[in-house]
Structure 1
């Protein structure tokens, strides 16, 4: 089953570190089909109830491209940092409106410190305390800003083999 993702503010998951794709072989094992063929439900060995599929992201307006990234055939978010983290979204080859306080924090890659993670968009909302996200089993949950980063990142893998508690 292939699920096409369209529209906003919900976007498809791209990986735990950067939407440029996995940065090393070990991370490639956790989201193997980030670019290329679609991830099929049968490929999600971590379990559909434990794997993030879509989340809210802050959507830019005008030339602010957040929420509209198209790399890899879909828009996306990452779990490098938790929901509504203070770490900025970083845009490469696009622009973000740093003056728009409703969409803060954000910076263009040219203003970011050199990093292998120079294009990233976190799960963000304008809700107090967290974001709405859907898991691969179709359930929708509110994920608190205070969720353990280890648990959040584990929910962002398809084949990581992490033992997850309740979330």
Structure 2
């Protein structure tokens, strides 16, 4: 046999043309544009899901308050001066603790000693025993602890004191008040027009207009710890300016018209949702309030007996 000659023969193998550098760069650029378009949509979808979970949390707490009121014939207190109630045979705890049996937290509530303060050593186990229902998933540090007491912080606060006197010199009552106990029958404005709770999120730190600041020493633990006696607040307007040297906030109370999402100082209304915050109403429903809500409407929603006419909000 003669050896096979390859001279002058073409290979039968087909050669594929490769991407040029320009084509590769174009493909990468297209992918980058698509990712850039998709990412905001994904983030918006995630925030929508977090906001829905936050709404569900607030609704559960509102229903727990209804069940508590039905059982005990009154709501629990959301603002308690322990010294004023120490000699009272009806020792009480803040609403966050009192409603635990109606939030599947009966075991935790049974460990709470009502005869001593919330921060007594006998209640130390409550520090990190806060239900997930009290945490807004939009808060990047939900469930974080308050640095001084070691107690976790709740992202929801109970309304205390109405804002009606800003536009009306005769103040009315709110759903909760200092050392007072309410009943739903006390609400003459209608349960669907009366705020029960609102968001005051991120209180493990001090937030001012979207960024953290140095917490002032006079910001009491009791406004921040989830079981503290003062875990409630008000919806008054105020201005906050940061000291350029210390980073501490300089607060001017009752000035201006900005109320929602200014700061979470002293349990003020603050949320990590864009454009507003969520509230629960005394009828158990949850609504979203925008930052530019009319002050008269907001004022009307904070009182239980102001007899205001509330339109759409």
Short-chain TM bin: 0.5 to 0.7
Find out whether 1:5 has 2:149 as its counterpart.
no
What is the distance in 2 between the residues matched to 1:146 and 1:128?
12
The structure with the greater share of residues assigned to helix is 2
Alignment of 1:33-48 (within 5 A): 34-48=177-191
What is the distance in 2 between the residues matched to 1:55 and 1:30?
17
Range with greater deviation from structure 2 (55-64 or 136-145) = 55-64
Q: Which residue of 1 aligns with 2:302?
A: 156
Find out whether 1:78 has 2:234 as its counterpart.
yes
- Asked whether the 8 Å contact 1:134–1:141 carries over to 2, the reply is yes
TM norm structure 1:
0.65
Q: Deviations over 1:17-60 (max 9, x none)?
A: 5xxxxxxx821x33386122311101111111000011111323
Q: Which residue of 1 aligns with 2:116?
A: none
What is the distance in 1 between the residues matched to 2:236 and 2:229?
20
What is the distance in 1 between the residues matched to 2:285 and 2:309?
20
SS in 2 for 1:126: coil
User: Can you give the 5+ residue segments of structure 2 that lack an aligned partner in the other structure?
Assistant: 1-68, 70-74, 77-94, 98-133, 135-153, 164-168, 207-214, 256-264
Find out whether 1:26 has 2:180 as its counterpart.
no
What is the distance in 2 between the residues matched to 1:123 and 1:160?
21
Give the aligned CA root-mean-square deviation in angstroms.
3.5
What is the distance in 2 between the residues matched to 1:134 and 1:125?
14
Find out whether 1:50 has 2:202 as its counterpart.
no
Larger radius of gyration: 2
After the TM superposition, which segments of 4 or more aligned residues of structure 1 sit over 6 Å from their partners? none
- Asked whether the 8 Å contact 2:159–2:176 carries over to 1, the reply is no
SS in 2 for 1:26: coil
- Asked whether the 8 Å contact 2:231–2:267 carries over to 1, the reply is no
TM norm structure 2:
0.37
Higher relative CO (Cα under 8 Å, sequence separation at least 6) belongs to 1
The structure with the greater share of residues assigned to strand is 1
Report how far residue 133 of structure 1 moved: 0.8
- Asked whether the 8 Å contact 1:16–1:156 carries over to 2, the reply is yes
1:135 to 258, 268, 281: 281
